Structure 1
Amino acid sequence: MINIEEQARLKELEDAFNLFNQTSMQLTTSYDALQAQTAHLQKQLAESDQEKNQVADKLSRLLNLLPAGVIGLDKKNQIVEMNPSAQEILGADAVGRDWDVVIMNVFLSTNDAGELIRHDGSVYQLSETPADNDLNRTLLIQDVTSARHLQEHVNRHQRLQSMGEMAASLAHQIRTPLSSALLYVSQMNSKHLDEDKRERFVGKALNSLNHLEALVKDMLQYAKGGKGSEKEIVIDTLMASLEQGVEAQIHQSQSTIRFNAFIPGLVITGDKDALLTALQNLVGNAIDVVGRTAEIEVTVNKISDDKVDLVISDKGPGIESEHLEKIFEPFYTSRAKGTGLGLAVVRAIAEAHNGEIWVKSIVGYGTQFGLRLPLTSRKEIA
């Protein structure tokens, strides 16, 4: 008979065998599940690779068909890849060469907009994507010659249209003072005209002719574009010339003008006569608006190391806000004797000197006009 100890040992073996069978079944189930998951992942990976290949193929065909040139540069600034359009622009032998050397060989110069100009006059625009972690760069170069020609054609059309409008306005502006002058001159032929009336008619005719002269002068300055020379101008000298140039106007209108103290030796570059014309126009404008006994101040403010403001201030009636945006337009004037070109000339001169004209006005308190111009350097007064 089997004793108790053997029965216990058989029981333990039976339990161990059952546990082994259960573990084997669990491992088999887990292995089957793992195989199924692996197969699913392999299928997903294959689909992903297929999609990537399709995207890569589309990108490759797109780069080949793209009319713009795509250029890849490495961290040594050498061309490592180009699409067909880039090869057509730069030459297939550009791969492996230094980018700066290729630019010097293929292009003649650059224009003010930073565009590249070839020897045949064609224009190319260059743009760049930010560098990645490996300091690689991707450049895009495209032919914009047709676009530039179209823009030039549009600009020319706009200039011709503006010139037509300006000519029509000019004819209208000239007709009124010319008709007045002709009328007064014709009246002076009368035998029954006494000396007092004759002198009055002469004065009115002269006023009309002076108005015509001012109109033609402003028109010529506006057409000139505001700049005729490139010379260094010491602002001290410019202010002295302005004071002398407006002396007659100030005296005749019984006005006063004060030149505030400013930093001596400031220098700008440009056309002194044109800038003097602009400042005189601003002073004359203040006198015309205020009338007699105008109080005018001239201030020079250095606003930064490279900018200066030439400011003409008056204590006149000010300008309504709805007129501020129009006062620099050619032939816009609210005065019967105004040419409508004075402030347009000032703006043209300021822009020709790489500057700008600004205005601040409070109705009932006065107006400030400022010419903001770039400083050239600082000179010591001898």
Structure 2
Amino acid sequence: MPETTQPTAQQLESAFEAFNQISVQLASSYGDLQQQVASLTEELSQARMETLNQLAEKERVAERLEKLLQALPGGVLVLDDRGRILEVNPGAYQLLGNDIIDHSWEEIAASRFVSGSRELQLHDGRWVSLSVSTLEGGQGKILLLTDVSEAHRLQDLLNQHQRLTALGEMAAGLAHQIRTPLASVLLYLSQLENPSLDRARHQQFVAKTRERMRHMEHMINNMLAYVRGQSEDQASFRLKDVIDAMEQLLEIDLQATGGQMYVSNQAPDVLVRGNADALLGALSNLGINAIQSCKQQPSLVLDVSKGRQGETIVSLKDNGTGIDEA
């Protein structure tokens, strides 16, 4: 049998010393590992606590937002990227009715709002304003509907008040406009009382009287329509017909002052769309002001021409002193 070499005391001592060193290193490494585990455990605990706090805060924010949506006086609708209604608040139900969830917004809008209206109006008469916000990433939209019926009513009242105020300022102008056709009517009626008047002249004065009365009726109706906020009647008419009627209206004033009016109509076939009586009243007032501003025999020149861009230009010149701006 081979001989077994026994370790010497020095070898044993070296081995024992190496073992002790390894043991110390292992103990140190284990201690470091324990510290790292403790540190990571603390960090994990803090991170978990922060996450829980954030979740709790988000829940509180979501709860506050939910209460806010419930309390909003307007209607809030959440749409998906296809335009279908996912969520609404009670205000939306009050405006649009109950059966709106999972329907497309276009379908609901077409059935709930009056078609052809320039503003959003429900079939029950309420007026609504609409605000649209797109969600981040284009994943849908949020619609805000607000009932503005009261604001609309107040605006109508304000507009009516402004029209009434303007009516007061226009009262003198209306009297001024009526004075000329009324004077013509009185003159024609006085002629009708002439027993020697032949039948043809009699019919002519009757027709002129009827025309002046019709003109005064239209002026009054236009002013009443303005007060009510109604639009004036719009129609196509020949500008020449208005010019001819203006000459007839100014006939009495020109005869009374010994004046004359010369008409140069270079666009006799021009058609105008608007209110013929309103235009006649404006031109007649212009002519009366021109006559009254002349200290000598009035000489009026009415010119109708075409502009460079195809527009029609109507100008009236007189030999008066003019009217102060004030």
TM-score by length of 2: 0.57
**Which amino acid is 1:122 matched to?**
G
Contact 2:76-2:92 within 8 A present in 1 as well? yes
Contact 1:126-1:139 within 8 A present in 2 as well? no
**Which amino acid is 1:125 matched to?**
V
What per-residue deviation string (whole Å, max 9, x for no partner) do you get for residues 267-307 of structure 1? 97534665677689889999999x989998966465xxxxx
Distance in 1 of aligned mates of 2:315 and 2:305:
7
Higher relative contact order (CA 8 A, sep 6+): 1
Report which stretch shifted further, 31-40 or 149-158: 149-158
What per-residue deviation string (whole Å, max 9, x for no partner) do you get for residues 32-59 of structure 1? 1222222222222222222211111111
Shift of 1:89: 2.7
Equivalent residue number for residue 76 of structure 2:
70
Equivalent residue number for residue 140 of structure 1:
144
Equivalent residue number for residue 323 of structure 2:
335
What per-residue deviation string (whole Å, max 9, x for no partner) do you get for residues 313-350 of structure 1? 99xxxxxxxxxxxxxxxxxxx816x9x9xxxxxxxxxx
Equivalent residue number for residue 61 of structure 1:
67
Distance 1:273 1:151, change over 3 A: closer
Distance 1:221 1:312, change over 3 A: farther
More strand by share: 1
1:79 and 2:85 correspond: yes
Equivalent residue number for residue 163 of structure 2:
159
Identity over the aligned pairs, expressed in percent?
A: 23
**Which amino acid is 1:73 matched to?**
L
Distance in 1 of aligned mates of 2:311 and 2:139:
44
**Which amino acid is 2:163 matched to?**
R
**Which amino acid is 1:155 matched to?**
N
Distance in 1 of aligned mates of 2:17 and 2:305:
117
Secondary structure of the residue aligned to 1:129 is strand
- Unpaired segments ≥5 residues, structure 2: 1-7, 184-215, 251-258, 317-321
Equivalent residue number for residue 378 of structure 1:
none
Contact 1:283-1:296 within 8 A present in 2 as well? no
Structure having the higher Rg = 2
Considering only aligned residues, what root-mean-square deviation do their CA atoms show, in Å? 5.1
Equivalent residue number for residue 117 of structure 1:
122
Distance in 2 of aligned mates of 1:11 and 1:76:
78
Shift of 1:97: 2.4
TM-score by length of 1: 0.50
**Which amino acid is 2:162 matched to?**
Q
Secondary structure of the residue aligned to 1:125 is strand
Shift of 1:95: 1.4
Equivalent residue number for residue 130 of structure 1:
133
Equivalent residue number for residue 212 of structure 2:
none
**Which amino acid is 1:335 matched to?**
I
Aligned length: 262
Equivalent residue number for residue 9 of structure 2:
2
Shift of 1:93: 2.3
